Amino acid sequence: MFQFKSMVASAAILIGSATISYAGCGISGGNVSILANDFPALHAVVSAAEACAGDGVTISKNHTKEHNSLQVPGLTANPAEYSVVVLANSSLVPLMGEGLVRPLDDLVAKHGGSLQKHQLVTIDGKIMAIAFMANAQHLFYRSDILAKVGVEAPTTYEEVLAAAKAIKSAGLMDHPFAFNTAPGWNLGEEFINMYMGTGADFFKPGTAEVSINNEHGIATLNMMKALTEYSNPDFLTFNSDATQALWEAGDLALANFWGTRAGPIMDAEGSTEEVTSNTVVASAPFLGDGPRPSSTLWWDGFSIASNVSDADAEASFIAMMNGISREMVMANNDLTVWLIDGYKPSATSAGVTATAANGAAPYPMLPFMGTLHGAAGAELSEFLQGSESAEQALADIEAAYNAAAKEKGFLD
Amino acid sequence: MKHRTFIWFILPSLAAMVLFIALPIFSVFTQSLFVKHDKVLIEAEVCGPFGCKTEVSVDVAATAEIQKEKPLGKFNGFNTYTNRNHLAVKEVRSAWSEASSVAQFFGALLNLPFYKALLFTITYTFCVTPFVIVLGLFIAIAVNSLPPLFKGPTIFMSLLPMIVTPLVGALILFWMTDAEGIIGSTLQRIFNDNELSLKASKTLTWIMLMVYGIWASLPFSFIVFYAGLQTVPEDTLEAAMIDGANRWERIRYVVIPYIMPLVVFITLILLMDNFRVFEPIIGFSAQANATSLSWIIYNDLRGGEIQYFGSASATSMLTIIGVGLLLVPVLIRTWRDFNAKSV
Amino acid sequence: MNIKAQQRPAILTLVLVLFVIVWLFIAVFPFLWTFWGSFKVEADFFSKVDWKYAIFGVRTLVETGSSFTGSGYEGAWVTHEFWRSVINTSIVVVSVVVISLTLGTLGGYALARSGYRYAFWLLMLALIFRAMPHITLVSGYLLPFFQWNLWGHLPTTIIVMVAINQPFTLWMLHSFFLNIPKDMDESAMVDGCTRFQAFRYVIIPVMWPGVITTGLFSFLLAYNDFTVTALLLSQENQTMIPKINSFLGSTQVKGNIMFAVSAVVSATLPLFVLVMFFQRQIVSGLTAGAVKG
């Protein structure tokens, strides 16, 4: 009913506009305001969308690293400060839970002809976001070092441990492995990745009750601990920048990094020819004989605010369709892994593609996933430092999660 | 001063504070007493670029219906304050009854995020503050005795730790203190230990953070003392000299009493700022070994995709109470001074 | 306090000078390191291989063909238009300092001269206000500001920073005013001045050391603020520190740290000029001999 009315209304506007003026992208007028994170791939998208400005269409943007803090209040205000918000799987759910983003079915039907089916993010049958790029953490290895110790490229974390052991005992490196283990978001993400490899669920089916204090949780933690033994003793300060610097200095042979870091690692800047030419990206390893790689797949996409007029919503959608056009992808092919038609996979994107092809699962789109993520990130450092048992660490995560989930109304 | 005159003098300042601090504090306190309504959860099919899966999601319409009646949320009283992520009353009690020794009790206590953070916060506050006050005064006296020509550049250079934004300053020091960095490798050479890492050990991390804290706040106490020294009346000093006071006695009995209001001021500000320590923890990414109350607040509000206002509000109120307790001795002193002043 | 006029043993002078030199070395060394490193590439500046790379620029030579490069500065100032943020910061900083000091001197003077108990309790209240972590305050502002369309503008940020800074300014100026003998303004009032006239003609001329020092801290607060500016300003009104933060990248995406380093270094130069200028003001307040007990 609502959708039908808005379709009629916007169709009328479109017909009217065709006779009055014809702006760059066929928008009749309206205010588009985009909130996005601040990095080159998103700059490319938003700049392409900005080309639609003019003739009664105003397009403003805010690229900021604080987008997570701004999106809830910015979209709650009525009218919303932003008509478009660029987000990822993890940040879509909290917005949806508050009813801050609108279903896009009618807009997709009308203006989404160029979209591919896999770009549509649907929840309960309604399209809530349009995805346009992908990312995942996966394995990086140094082919020359592995060749020296005569080890094949590892496909499981057990083989990663064996390879690290061989490198260490051959005296090539003391700490051949690294992953992003700084407590907080990074460590929480590593926990979730590793746990995903077990194939088990984080929660009791159909509820928000966490259930990780089991044999899967223990296997996850024991593997993380075993890996940190081959990591530099400073591993609890490791974020992406720190680990990338280690890799570029030639101090690592095996690592688990974000796919988007492959480009900067393999370029000529910051490292020697020996390191860059022997760096190979591969699928994220499996945990034992687990059913899927120990990683989570991420997408970035956009949603349209609920608290804006239908006309502004339509203008915003058209502008963003222009932002994620084939031409934009062709001009910016290597900035990231695009999910858009026309993208040509490159050497640096092979890791993300292989991880997805091996059947890695997407980061769970659960409204309370972020709460568990935060609890895991905060409660694991004692265990990794060896001053706490795995059971205690898992119990701490559950306790921290329960307290936080109550505040959000997920648990009684 | 007459009441009416006083009001006119203070009004603009007071209005700004009431509007932008007092009202928000009140709202923060109110928020800390509420939690969100129970969300209505449904199972729905979620599809994305990587396939479909049936997942739990929020029934927005049903949840909004509950929300409409009571927009503030569900009244929770002080339960947020006492839950496991804050004061953890239940957990502390059970730790107390289960512990067979005091050490075991403290072990269990420090496994709780709030108490872990509190321990570092208090240690940091009481180690950094005295150093900053004493060293700041010495530097001020020393700089004050320099020839005028050198004073300007010296003041500027002394301010540099405060001028360079902690965002980048801590990042630079983070790399300098790395095992391969200039400070880290120099320390390795001094202690003749190739495995020495400032970032891996808890004790060394704490010391590193405190040294950084002293370094970063010294300019503040130095400048305030330096400005205070400029107002010390010369005749009093001369009178003291004529009375045969030596250099140290002149500082002890003339200069220090004269700048005492400033010492009180600096102590207050430093205690408060150090109690809210947070930037170096992020800068040195030291949260594995050291967390503070302010870091907990930061983590609640900016750590991930979801913000926990109620939780952050509760920790903020606890921080205010903590600061209040910390300042009591200084405040009693101020109170006495105040009463000593004739009306 | 003119110590020069006094006889000082040479050994004491030596100790004092050595003390200052040691302090300056500790205070300045990280900055000098940064300054030198800002002309290198990132692989040298944050070298994991060997810290000496940062001094000799080994990777810089490989990557750019010379031991020094201005690419960090070029990236920050030309490509990313850092100057826009500099202008915004100047507006914010000047406004915050002027407004803070105006409100603060009036209030601080009143608090220092009033003997009534409520003055004490007001000071206490200001302290409690100051204890509130900024990040909680600012997060609370967001929704009302968005709703009332106040978000993103420079004046909003300026007023918020003035308010947040008021407790500190009040306390500091109050402490300085306590140092100015009461007899001065009171004798003026005996001569027939009103309280405001006494403030205007007697106190203002002698208050500059305290005011300038307080102003310096208001300045540094506004200049270095991250929490308020990062959350309350829109992109076109962005000040320097959030801009520098945007150079630093995120977990998934590599930033350009050398832009941030160059921006930090180049933002320091105008401050040098400023401090030199106001340092003369502090000392001139002294040499005018205005403050005599």
Q: Is the pLDDT of residue B343 over 60?
A: no
For residues A26 and C215, what is the distance between their CA atoms, to the nearest angstrom? 53
Mutation for B interface: A95, A192, A237, most B CBs within 10 A: A237
CB contact under 8 A, C170 and B6: no
Q: Is A71 on the interface with C (CB under 8 A)?
A: no
Distance from CA of A184 to the nearest CA of B (A): 7
**What is the CATH classification number for the domain harbouring C233?**
1.10.3720.10
Q: Is C106 on the interface with B (CB under 8 A)?
A: yes
C8: in domain: yes
Q: Which residue has the tokens 């002698």?
A: C206
What was the pLDDT predicted at A369?
94
A178, containing H or E segment: strand A177-179
CB contact under 8 A, C27 and B215: yes
For A137-141, A285-289, C180-184, which range has the lowest pLDDT when averaged over its residues? Answer: C180-184
Residues B80-90 pLDDT 10s: 999 999 999 99
Most confident among A373-377, B58-62, B224-228 (mean pLDDT):
A373-377
B106: in domain: no
Q: Is C113 on the interface with A (CB under 8 A)?
A: no
For residues A73 and C143, what is the distance between their CA atoms, to the nearest angstrom? 5
CB contact under 8 A, C136 and B143: no
Most confident among A62-66, A156-160, C186-190, C262-266 (mean pLDDT):
A156-160
B80: in domain: no
Fold classified for A2-134+298-348: D-Maltodextrin-Binding Protein; domain 2 (3.40.190)
For residues B298 and B311, what is the distance between their CA atoms, to the nearest angstrom? 11
Q: Is the domain of B53 the same as that of B197?
A: no
For residues A382 and A384, what is the distance between their CA atoms, to the nearest angstrom? 5
A46, containing H or E segment: helix A40-50
Q: At what angle do helices B309-340 and B113-144 cross, to 10 degrees?
A: 40
What was the pLDDT predicted at C280?
65
Q: Which residue of C has its CA nearest to A184?
A: C251
Beta bridge partners of A87: A301
B1: in domain: no
- In the structure encoding, which two tokens stand for residue A138, read together? 């996966």
Number of domains in chain B: 2
Average pLDDT over residues A372-391: 94
Distance from CA of C24 to the nearest CA of A (A): 30
Percent of chain A with pLDDT over 90: 81
Q: Is B178 on the interface with A (CB under 8 A)?
A: yes
Contacts of A106 (CB under 8 A, 6+ apart): A3, A6, A7, A10
List B residues 71-90 in contact with A (Cβ-Cβ < 8 A): 73-74, 80, 83-85
Chain B residues closer than 8 Å to C163 by CB:
16-17, 19-21
Q: Which residue has the tokens 């205007």?
A: C200
> Which tops the pLDDT comparison, A9 or B124?
B124
CB contact under 8 A, C246 and A65: yes
Q: Output C91-96 pairs: Cβ under 8 A, ≥24 positions apart.
A: C91/C154, C91/C158, C92/C154, C92/C157, C92/C158, C92/C161, C92/C222, C92/C229, C92/C239, C93/C219, C93/C222, C93/C223, C95/C154, C95/C158, C96/C158, C96/C161, C96/C162, C96/C165, C96/C218, C96/C219, C96/C221, C96/C222
Distance from CA of A410 to the nearest CA of B (A): 6
Mutation for B interface: C53, C179, C246, most B CBs within 10 A: C179
For residues C115 and C99, what is the distance between their CA atoms, to the nearest angstrom? 26
For residues A407 and A208, what is the distance between their CA atoms, to the nearest angstrom? 13
- Residue ranges making up the domain that contains B52: 36-75
Q: Is the domain of B144 the same as that of B218?
A: yes
Q: Tell me the domain boundaries of chain A.
A: 2-134+298-348, 135-296+354-407
B102: in domain: no
- A135-296+354-407 — its CATH code? 3.40.190.10
What was the pLDDT predicted at C2?
46
Contact B66, B37 (CB under 8 A): yes
- In the structure encoding, which two tokens stand for residue C41, read together? 């590439």
What was the pLDDT predicted at C175?
82
Q: Is A276 on the interface with C (CB under 8 A)?
A: no
Contact B87, B81 (CB under 8 A): yes
Percent of chain A with pLDDT over 70: 94
CB contact under 8 A, A245 and C242: no
- Residue ranges making up the domain that contains C60: 3-74
Contacts of A43 (CB under 8 A, 6+ apart): A63
Distance from CA of A16 to the nearest CA of B (A): 34
For residues C112 and C102, what is the distance between their CA atoms, to the nearest angstrom? 16
What is the distance of C-alpha C133 from the center of its chain?
19
Average pLDDT over residues C178-183: 82
Distances in Å between the Cα of B281 and the Cα atoms of A252, B30, B161, B292 are: 26, 29, 17, 8
Alpha helices in chain C (DSSP H): 10-37, 42-45, 52-56, 58-64, 71-73, 82-113, 117-131, 134-147, 154-179, 182-190, 195-198, 204-206, 208-224, 227-232, 240-247, 257-287
Q: Is A31 on the interface with B (CB under 8 A)?
A: no
Q: Is the pLDDT of residue A118 over 70?
A: yes
Chain B residues closer than 8 Å to A306 by CB:
none
Q: Is the domain of B212 the same as that of B262?
A: yes
Q: Are strands A30-36 and A84-88 parallel, antiparallel or unpaired?
A: parallel
Q: Which amino acid is at B139?
A: I
Instruction: Please provide the average confidence, as pLDDT, over all residues in chain A.
Output: 90
- Taking the CA atoms of A344, A347, A348 and A352 in sequence, report the sign of the dihedral they define: positive
Per residue, the 3-state secondary structure of A271-325, as one string, reads CCHHHHHHEEEECCCECCCCCCECCEEEEEEEEEECCCCHHHHHHHHHHHHHHCC
For residues B92 and A274, what is the distance between their CA atoms, to the nearest angstrom? 55
B24: in domain: no
Q: Is the domain of B134 the same as that of B263?
A: yes
- The secondary structure of residue C66, as a DSSP letter, is S
C69: in domain: yes
Average pLDDT over residues B272-283: 90
Q: Is the domain of B55 the same as that of B154?
A: no
Average pLDDT over residues A331-355: 92
CB contact under 8 A, A362 and B50: yes
> Which tops the pLDDT comparison, A103 or C289?
A103
Q: Is the domain of B248 the same as that of B302?
A: yes
- The secondary structure of residue A238, as a DSSP letter, is -
B·C CB contacts under 8 A: 305
Q: Is A387 helix (H, G, I), strand (E, B) or coil?
A: coil
Contacts of A308 (CB under 8 A, 6+ apart): A79, A80, A83, A316
C99: in domain: yes
CB contact under 8 A, A268 and C151: no
Number of domains in chain C: 2
What was the pLDDT predicted at C287?
37
Q: Which residue of A has its CA nearest to C148?
A: A77
Q: Is A69 on the interface with C (CB under 8 A)?
A: yes
Q: Are strands A296-304 and A361-362 parallel, antiparallel or unpaired?
A: parallel
C116: in domain: yes
Contact A180, A380 (CB under 8 A): no
What was the pLDDT predicted at C6?
53
- In the structure encoding, which two tokens stand for residue A410, read together? 């997920």
Q: Is the pLDDT of residue B232 over 80?
A: no
Q: Is A352 on the interface with B (CB under 8 A)?
A: no
C70: in domain: yes
- Considering only the beta carbons, identify the residue of B25, B231, B259 that sits closest to C291: B231
For residues C223 and C161, what is the distance between their CA atoms, to the nearest angstrom? 11
Q: Is the domain of B185 the same as that of B260?
A: yes
CB contact under 8 A, C252 and A260: yes
Distances in Å between the Cα of B21 and the Cα atoms of B14, B302, C221 are: 10, 21, 17
For residues C63 and A398, what is the distance between their CA atoms, to the nearest angstrom? 49
Chain A residues closer than 8 Å to B83 by CB:
403, 406
What was the pLDDT predicted at B341?
62
Q: What angle do CA A83, A84, A90 make, to 5 degrees?
A: 130
Of C31, C49, C74, which closes a domain?
A: C74
Distance from CA of B200 to the nearest CA of A (A): 5
What was the pLDDT predicted at A17?
37
What was the pLDDT predicted at B258?
81
Q: Is the domain of B180 the same as that of B62?
A: no
Average pLDDT over residues A137-160: 96
Q: Report phi then psi at A298, rounded to 5.
A: -120, 145
Q: Which residue of B has its CA nearest to A371?
A: B306
- In the structure encoding, which two tokens stand for residue B265, read together? 């001021």
Mutation for A interface: B41, B50, B119, most A CBs within 10 A: B50
Q: Is the pLDDT of residue B178 over 90?
A: no
Distance from CA of B13 to the nearest CA of A (A): 28
Q: Is A169 on the interface with C (CB under 8 A)?
A: no
Average pLDDT over residues A256-279: 91
Distance from CA of B136 to the nearest CA of A (A): 32
Q: Is the pLDDT of residue B108 over 50?
A: yes
CB contact under 8 A, C275 and B302: no
> Which tops the pLDDT comparison, C198 or A304?
A304
Q: Report phi then psi at A410, rounded to 5.
A: -85, -25
Q: Is the domain of C147 the same as that of C260?
A: yes
Q: Is the domain of C197 the same as that of C106?
A: yes
Q: Is the pLDDT of residue B290 over 60?
A: yes
- In the structure encoding, which two tokens stand for residue A194, read together? 């590793």
For residues C243 and C263, what is the distance between their CA atoms, to the nearest angstrom? 9
CB contact under 8 A, A236 and B200: yes
Q: Is the domain of C20 the same as that of C153?
A: no
Q: Which residue of B has its CA nearest to C131?
A: B320
Chain B residues closer than 8 Å to A124 by CB:
42, 44-46, 57
**Confidence band (pLDDT; 50, 70, 90) for A74?**
very high
Q: Is the pLDDT of residue B195 over 90?
A: no
Q: Which residue of B has its CA nearest to C257?
A: B168
Which conformational region is residue A25 in: left (phi greater than 0), alpha (psi within -120 to 50 degrees), or beta? alpha
Residues C219-278 pLDDT 10s: 988 998 999 999 999 999 999 999 998 898 888 888 888 999 999 898 887 777 787 777
Enter the ipTM.
Answer: 0.91
List B residues 2-41 in contact with A (Cβ-Cβ < 8 A): 35-39, 41
Contact A315, A148 (CB under 8 A): no
Q: Is A270 on the interface with B (CB under 8 A)?
A: no
For residues A14 and A317, what is the distance between their CA atoms, to the nearest angstrom? 14
Q: Is C210 on the interface with B (CB under 8 A)?
A: yes
What was the pLDDT predicted at A10?
41
Q: Which residue of B has its CA nearest to C180?
A: B231
For residues C33 and C124, what is the distance between their CA atoms, to the nearest angstrom? 42
C261: in domain: yes
